[in-house]
Structure 1
Amino acid sequence: MNPIVTVQDAVTAFEPWMEPTSAELDAIESEMPLILADVDLIDAQIIALDRTPNEVDSRRIRRALARVLTERTKLVNRTADRVPAGGAA
């Protein structure tokens, strides 16, 4: 017979090296507007799934999608400014 053993210690183990670094936190912070825009888009799509989409639902989805695209463009432009020039010849 096999004993049943809990893995509580393994699951809830905490080590200081498991914390996110400052660079990772900065990356999350810079991507937060895009993350929030994605959440708004998903919310709009979920609302439209619950019923037959009407004009208001369609507008809500279009606005949310436009916001996502705007935030993605801003993020790409910000990260492109940080990447040093150079590369393959």
Structure 2
Amino acid sequence: MNELLTLLMAVCFLVTGWHFVKRPEAIQQWVLQLHQKNHLVAEMNPLRNWIDKKSFVIALRVPGVLSLFNFFMLMMAFFSLQEPHFDMPL
């Protein structure tokens, strides 16, 4: 069961990291559309103005890189949990 949860978490971190690193502009557009649908957010909201800038894309890529790093760490932990097999005769 522990191995299954480790694999599931690793796959989730891989998908999240991949989308945050490779497609931050699409996520940026999605967040902008979400803010446009919300009528409580004003046009001159500082958060909305920041979402339009390039620094928002960079801020999206940082958690993406950390998610990919976490994926690799979980995969290393997963493979270290496996029992070593010594099938070759000496």
The structure richer in helix per residue is 2
TM-score by length of 2: 0.49
Q: Quick check: which has more Rg, 1 or 2?
A: 1
Higher RCO (CA < 8 A, seq sep 6+): 2
TM-score by length of 1: 0.50
